């Protein structure tokens, strides 16, 4: 074996020969030849992209990552002798390496690998955000040897391949980029910080230990080299793990609902004021409002932020029997949306309610049954009764309904409001927000929640595989061990430790260019 010094000399000779053969000037020496770039990434292309948002802005960030990053920094920032101190901003003129024309004046930062986001040598140019400046800098980078534009999500993919981020952390980062509400931001940030990754890794480590003990028992038990009680400890661990995973799965899709938005449907009879409620909540005339019954024929959707929770709000056609084929289709679509809804706002015209509270409660129950035929099986947290047009009620009648109806058993929460005067709107929004919080949960409290459908699918496979171990443990220990192995593989597909290649493209394609 050659001494380490000889090996280093041989590597340097190869690098120098490569540079001479390409005809590049001495300035194009690749600092990352000995920068400690992660295995498999040292020979990767150097990529660049605009990492800040597109369009005119005060400052734009252009990111570069790969072995030629230092070359780009030297050539475009005029640094002939020394690179800047790591992670220290330096004000420089940004020039075109071919024409030497000054393109802009801005900050440059140097992030030597492996202490960078991607684990590779990386550079950032903080330049002015005008389209002409950005285009000129990107074209100058593209003209340099060994440089190419990054694909969507490629920086983050390199960070994953370098071990900087786990797969669930990558997904958390993607969710953080796309977060539109405060609750979404909190959930994404928690996942990106590694809470979910650590939970799944803990389960993986415990499964690895179980699998090792089972296989050791199979291989060496006849030689009496295995201590007593090994399989019993594995049994206990498998039962405990299965129970933990099943509890994790019984989250009523809170994390997934928060990530994608709560589907809320406004439903009820014609002329109850459903479209008025939609317009009131989104504070714009999103739906046509008229006194003619059956004005709304199709589903009208809008996206809202209600107290930090994302809501996909749908206004639907009034529910009634009709001979009009178009209205029949609208009613069919309305009922279909109600079946798919996470929360239904059943709107009732309060003017039609009698003064006697019990009779009013009976009419409300009829309205609920009309909108939600399976209400007895429906969780009452998935429904709100909205009594609209309260501005047309006598004050005494309105107060009595408000006081008495919420005490009637069998009814979901009742909210009285006027979309015309906005009286009662704040009370309704408070009840609405509390229901959204129940449906989505608090992203900062308790154990981390499931946020992806693929996580749920793999965890369900994991539970089935652990059940296989328990079923076959006493009859065929080898097949039982396969159950533990399959469970471990399912968890690995979530964290990216096993069999991740086939899902990487799906995950990273949703990232923007430059991330």
pLDDT digits (tens, 9 = 90+) for 428-484: 999 999 999 999 998 888 888 899 999 999 999 999 999 999 999 888 988 999 999
Answer with the residue of higher pLDDT: 40 or 158.
158
pLDDT, mean of residues 349-360? 88
Residue 311 pairs in a beta bridge with 262, 304
Phi, psi of 127 (to 5 degrees): -120, 175
Answer with the residue of higher pLDDT: 394 or 20.
394
pLDDT digits (tens, 9 = 90+) for 238-291: 999 999 999 999 988 999 999 999 999 999 999 899 999 999 999 888 877 877
Q: Hey, how many other C-beta atoms are within 10 angstroms of the C-beta on 88?
A: 10
Under the banding of pLDDT at 50, 70 and 90, the label for residue 159 is very high
Distance CA 12, CA 247 (A): 56
Count of residues for the chain? Answer: 515
Please say if the pLDDT value at position 1 is more than 90: no
What does each C-alpha distance from 40 to 66, 116, 493 come to in angstroms?
Answer: 12, 16, 21
CATH among 3.40.50.2300, 3.40.50.300, 3.30.1360.120, 3.30.70.360 for 46-161: 3.30.1360.120
Is 273:391 a contact under the CB 8 Å cutoff? no
pLDDT cut 90: percent of the chain above it: 57
pLDDT value of residue 11: 33
pLDDT value of residue 402: 84
Helix (H/G/I), strand (E/B), else coil: 65 = strand
Helix (H/G/I), strand (E/B), else coil: 47 = strand
Nearest to 312 by CA among 321, 325, 324, 300: 300
Please say if the pLDDT value at position 320 is more than 70: yes
* Region of residue 16 (left: phi > 0; alpha: psi -120 to 50; beta: else): alpha
pLDDT value of residue 327: 87
DSSP code at position 122: E
Q: What is the mean pLDDT of the chain?
A: 84
Please say if the pLDDT value at position 104 is more than 80: yes
pLDDT, mean of residues 143-149? 93
Please say if the pLDDT value at position 3 is more than 50: no
pLDDT, mean of residues 98-123? 95
Please say if the pLDDT value at position 357 is more than 60: yes
CA angle, 66 then 31 then 134, to 5°: 50
Nearest to 313 by CA among 356, 350, 283, 278: 278
pLDDT value of residue 287: 78
CATH among 3.40.920.10, 3.30.1370.60, 1.20.120.430, 1.10.8.50 for 195-251+450-495: 1.20.120.430
Please say if the pLDDT value at position 184 is more than 80: yes
Domains in the chain: boundaries:
46-161, 195-251+450-495, 262-440
Under the banding of pLDDT at 50, 70 and 90, the label for residue 506 is very low
pLDDT value of residue 30: 33
List, in sequence order, every beta strand (DSSP E) within 261-397.
Answer: 262-268, 300-306, 309-315, 343-349, 383-388
pLDDT digits (tens, 9 = 90+) for 52-68: 878 888 999 999 999 99
pTM for this prediction: 0.77
Distance CA 172, CA 189 (A): 7
Under the banding of pLDDT at 50, 70 and 90, the label for residue 497 is confident
Q: Hey, how many other C-beta atoms are within 10 angstroms of the C-beta on 52?
A: 17
pLDDT cut 70: percent of the chain above it: 85
Under the banding of pLDDT at 50, 70 and 90, the label for residue 378 is low
262-440 topology per CATH: Rossmann fold (3.40.50)
Please say if the pLDDT value at position 40 is more than 60: no
Is 148:485 a contact under the CB 8 Å cutoff? no
pLDDT value of residue 296: 79
* Region of residue 361 (left: phi > 0; alpha: psi -120 to 50; beta: else): alpha
Under the banding of pLDDT at 50, 70 and 90, the label for residue 400 is confident
Please say if the pLDDT value at position 171 is more than 70: yes
The per-residue DSSP string of 376-421 comes to GGS-GGGEEEEEE-GGGS-HHHHHHHHHHGGGSTT---EEE--TTT
pLDDT digits (tens, 9 = 90+) for 9-29: 333 333 334 343 343 333 333
């Amino acid at each position: 074996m050659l001494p380490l010094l000889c090996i280093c000399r041989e590597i340097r000779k190869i690098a120098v020969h490569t540079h001479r053969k390409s005809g590049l000037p001495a300035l194009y020496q690749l600092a990352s030849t000995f920068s400690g770039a992660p295995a498999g990434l040292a020979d990767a292309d150097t990529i660049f992209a605009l990492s800040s948002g597109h369009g005119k802005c005060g400052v734009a960030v252009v990111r570069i990552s790969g072995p030629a990053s230092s070359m780009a920094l030297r050539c475009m920032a005029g640094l002939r002798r020394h690179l800047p101190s790591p992670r220290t901003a330096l004000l420089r003129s940004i020039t075109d390496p071919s024409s030497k024309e000054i393109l802009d004046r801005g900050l440059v930062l140097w992030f030597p690998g492996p202490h960078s986001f991607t684990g590779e040598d990386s550079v950032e140019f903080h330049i002015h955000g005008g389209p002409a400046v950005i285009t000129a800098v990107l074209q100058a980078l593209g003209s340099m040897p060994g440089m190419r534009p990054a694909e969507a999500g490629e920086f983050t993919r390199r960070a994953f391949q370098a071990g900087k981020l786990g797969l669930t952390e990558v997904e958390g980062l993607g969710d953080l980029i796309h977060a539109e509400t405060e609750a979404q931001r909190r959930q994404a940030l928690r996942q990106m910080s590694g809470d979910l990754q650590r939970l799944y890794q803990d389960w993986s480590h415990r499964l690895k230990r179980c699998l090792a003990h089972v296989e050791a028992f199979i291989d060496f038990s006849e030689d009496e080299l295995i201590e007593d009680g090994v399989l019993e400890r594995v049994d206990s661990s498998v039962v405990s793990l299965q129970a933990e995973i099943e509890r994790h799965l019984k989250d009523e899709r809170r994390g997934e609902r928060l990530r994608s938005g709560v589907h809320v449907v406004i439903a009820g009879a014609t002329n109850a004021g459903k479209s008025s409620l939609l317009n009131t909540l989104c504070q714009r005339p999103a739906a046509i409002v008229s006194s003619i019954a059956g004005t709304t024929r199709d589903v009208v959707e809008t996206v809202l932020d209600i107290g930090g929770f994302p809501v996909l709000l749908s206004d639907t056609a009034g529910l009634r029997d009709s001979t009009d084929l178009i209205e029949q289709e609208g009613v069919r679509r309305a009922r279909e949306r109600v079946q798919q809804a996470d929360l239904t706002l059943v709107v009732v015209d309060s003017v039609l309610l009698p003064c006697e509270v019990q009779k009013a409660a009976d009419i409300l129950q009829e309205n609920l049954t009309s909108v939600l035929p399976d209400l007895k099986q429906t969780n009452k947290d998935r429904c709100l009764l909205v009594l609209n047009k309260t501005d047309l009620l006598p004050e005494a009648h309105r107060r009595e309904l408000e006081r008495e109806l919420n005490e009637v058993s069998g009814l979901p929460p009742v909210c009285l409001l006027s979309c015309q005067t906005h009286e009662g709107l704040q009370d309704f929004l408070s009840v609405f927000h509390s229901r959204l919080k129940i449906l989505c949960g608090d992203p900062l409290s308790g154990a981390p929640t499931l946020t992806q459908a693929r996580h749920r699918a793999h965890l369900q496979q994991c539970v089935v595989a652990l059940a296989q171990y328990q079923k076959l443990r006493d009859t065929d220990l080898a097949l039982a061990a396969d159950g533990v192995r399959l469970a471990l593989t399912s968890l690995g597909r979530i964290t990216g430790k096993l069999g991740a290649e086939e899902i990487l493209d799906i995950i990273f394609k949703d990232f923007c260019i430059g991330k």
